[in-house]
Structure formats: structure tokens, C-alpha cells
Chain A
Amino acid sequence: MKYLGNFKDWIQPELLERIVETQGDPTLLNQPLTWKGHPEHEAWYKTFCAAGYDKRNFYSNMYNQYTEDIKDFVITPPIDLGNKTWDWWFIKFLPGSVACMHYDPHTKIYQTAKRYWMAMMDYHPGHVFVSEGGQMMTNYKAGDLWTWDQADLIHGVVNLSMIPRVTFQFSTHETDDAYHKPKFYIDHNLD
């Protein structure tokens, strides 16, 4: 992870409060359709099922541009992204919520994908965010922003604390980075 600085002033307190108090889009960890169409995805989903995650009802609460609960807020990038295309989402992990070790599937689609992670709350013991190589993020402050060393970094989250955990995530890719997506699917005979 490369630290890019603290952007606490970017955080809208009313937005954070809205996220904490609403459900957003409860999103199941088990999403079989997301992991179809590419051998790497399918191999990952096979291990996911073998570990029994497909039989659990883990979910997190997602908030993006289509989420009713936050539609009245305007979200702009906290840093200058130039002409790159960006996708953003907030995630709330309630106590006991789990996202097992995974890579973000969209990062395999765009060759120029870059991933960013911002804390919306100060670190709290039990807010566990780990990445491959036995790394854990601790002692961060609300507004701290990092970019990942590689967009498809294996990572996972569990909230073992007694309070919710909210983060802001975004990904960028070059606007003309389109060839990779069709190739990704054509190679595997899908639409």
C-alpha cells in the first residue's frame, strides 16, 4: 500500500452519518455470477465453495451512485484523476461481517486498473483489513488514502469489533482501456 495523504476534509459528515444509519444495498458475499466466465475467477469460486462460504449468509452494505440512501449526495474524487474513468463505492461492515480473501474481479478486466482505499473512520481494534503477505492495516485515521501496489491484490475484511466500519473505495482505468474486456470474454466464448 502506498500512502497518499489525509483527505479528512473530503469526508462529508452527513454522508457518513447516512451510511452508518441506513442499509444501503446489502450485498451477499456469495455471488456466483460474478465469478463466471474466466478460468481464474472460476478457480477462485471453487475454493470459496470448498471452504463453505457459499453456505453462509455473509453480506456487507454497499453504497454507490445507484444507492437510493445516498442519491442526494454528490461524490467527487478526493484527488485529481486526470481523464481516467473512475468507479466508486462505500462499504459498511457491521460487526461480524466478513469478506473472505479475494481479489476484485473487475481489476482483471481493465489492464490499467488502479485501486484506492480511504478510511472513513479512525482505526478501531477489531476492524480487520488484511492483504496477502500477512499485512494488516492499523492505526489509520479517517481520511487516510492509499493506493494499492497492484490492483488485483488479494485482500479480506472482517469486523470483529462492536461498531460498524466504513471505507471508501475507488478504482480507475484509462478511458480508452476497452480492449481488455472484450478479449477477456471472447477468449472464453461468452457474450
Chain B
Amino acid sequence: MKYIGNYIDQIPAGLIDAVLNNDGEITPVYQPEKWSGKPEWDAARIALENAGYPKLDYHFHQYTENTECIKPFLDQIDFKFNLPDLPPVHHWWIVKYMGGDMQPMHFDPHVIDTQDCQRYTMMLTDFEDGHIFVYDDVLLNNYKAGDLFLWPDAMCLHGAANISMNPRISLQMSFYNEISR
């Protein structure tokens, strides 16, 4: 991950507390309906099934522009953070992992439908031992809330978990060009 800078000053006061204090959209790790009709995702779905994840009923928490508890903050934040040379299409989501929440190793399926995708992650909580974000055999660690990172490759295999005693929150962003079909 390439460290871009710290942008905590551009996160509206109260947003992080709103995420901490609300469940948001409870999102299952195993979402077969999301992957249906996408043959290119079959290998990942079948691997998850063979590993037994569907039986575990795991989930994490997501917050998007449609999530009620964060709507009051959305007009106070510029999700582009004045970054130069960004592709035009933008989408973002906030993820919260409570203790024991996880997403097994995966690549982000939406990237398949994009061109020139740039993936960014901004941490919204300070790192603590047990906050897991792994990619390319590296543990992202010792970051502060507001630290923004550019992924080395939007398609990199990664996984996340929280095995600490406190929640872990991050803002995820993708900027890309649509694939013309």
C-alpha cells in the first residue's frame, strides 16, 4: 500500500461515532445471489463453499450513501480528497468489523467490470493489535485514523478481520472508467 497522507481533518465530526454506534447494513460474507450470473466469479464462490464459509453465517457491517445513520454527514465530505488524476467514476463504502467479524481472502468483484481502477483505503480507527488487513502477505499496521492508502493493484488478493477487542472501521473507495460494452 502506498501511503498518501492523513485526511482526518476532512472527515466530518460525528461520522465515525455514527458508524460505531449503528449497525449499518449487516452484510453476509457469503452472498451467492450477488454472484449469480457472473461466471467469472464462480471460482471464488466455489472456493468459499468448499472451505465451508456458507455454514458459518459470518457477516460484517457496511455503510453506503443509502445508510440512514450516515446520511446527515454526506454533504460535508468530498470523497475525492483532492487526489489528482482520478478516473471519473467513483464509488465508496464504509466497512465496520466488530470483534470476530471477517472477510476471507478475496478480490473485489466490482473491479472486474472496470478499467484503470484505483483502489484507496482510509482507516477511520487507529491500528491496534488484532485489526487485520492483509494483502500480498503483508499486514497493514501502525496506521492512524485518517491515513489514506493507495492499493498496489486494484485486483490484489486481500482479507480482513477483527480479532481485537475494539471495532475497526475503514472507508473504501474505487475510482475507475466504465468498460464500454
Q: Given A51-B98, A134-B127: A101 and B139 within 8 A (CB)?
A: no
Interface of A is mostly: loop
24 residue pairs A–B, Cβ–Cβ below 8 Å: A51-B99, A53-B100, A94-B52, A96-B58, A96-B102, A100-B99, A101-B163, A125-B105, A125-B134, A126-B105, A128-B134, A128-B139, A130-B130, A130-B163, A156-B163, A160-B132, A160-B134, A160-B161, A161-B51, A161-B105, A162-B47, A162-B51, A162-B104, A162-B105
- Confirm or deny: B129 has a beta carbon within 8 angstroms of a beta carbon on chain A: yes
A96: which of B52, B138, B142 is its contact (CB, 8 Å)? B52
Contact B104 A160 (CB under 8 A): yes
By CB atoms of chain A within 10 A, which of B56, B103, B142, B163 has the most? B163
B53 touches A96 (CB 8 A): yes
What is the interface residue range for chain B against chain A?
Answer: 20 to 34
Query: Roughly how many angstroms separate A48 CA and B100 CA in the complex, as a whole number?
Result: 11
Point out residues on A near B: beta carbons under 8 Å: 47-48, 50-53, 56, 58, 94-96, 98-101, 123, 125-126, 128, 130-136, 138-139, 154, 156-158, 160-163
In the complex, chain A residues whose CB is within 8 Å of the CB of B105:
125-126, 160-162
The answer to whether A125 and B99 have CB atoms under 8 Å apart is: no
> Once bound together, how far apart are the Cα atoms of A96 and B105, in whole Å?
10
Report whether B129 and A134 are in contact in the complex, using a CB–CB cutoff of 8 Å. Answer: yes
Q: Least Cβ distance of A111 to chain B in Å?
A: 25
Q: Using CB atoms and an 8 Å cutoff, list the residues of chain B in contact with chain A.
A: 47-48, 50-53, 56, 58, 98-100, 102-105, 127, 129-130, 132, 134, 137-139, 141-142, 157, 159-161, 163-166
User: Across the interface, do B53 and A95 meet the contact criterion of CB distance under 8 Å?
Assistant: yes
* Residues from chain A with Cβ under 8 Å of B141 in the complex: 134, 136
Query: A154–B129 contact, CB under 8 A?
Result: yes
Given contacts A48-B165, A133-B129, A134-B129, contact A163 B51 (CB under 8 A): yes
Residue of B nearest to A44 (CB): B165
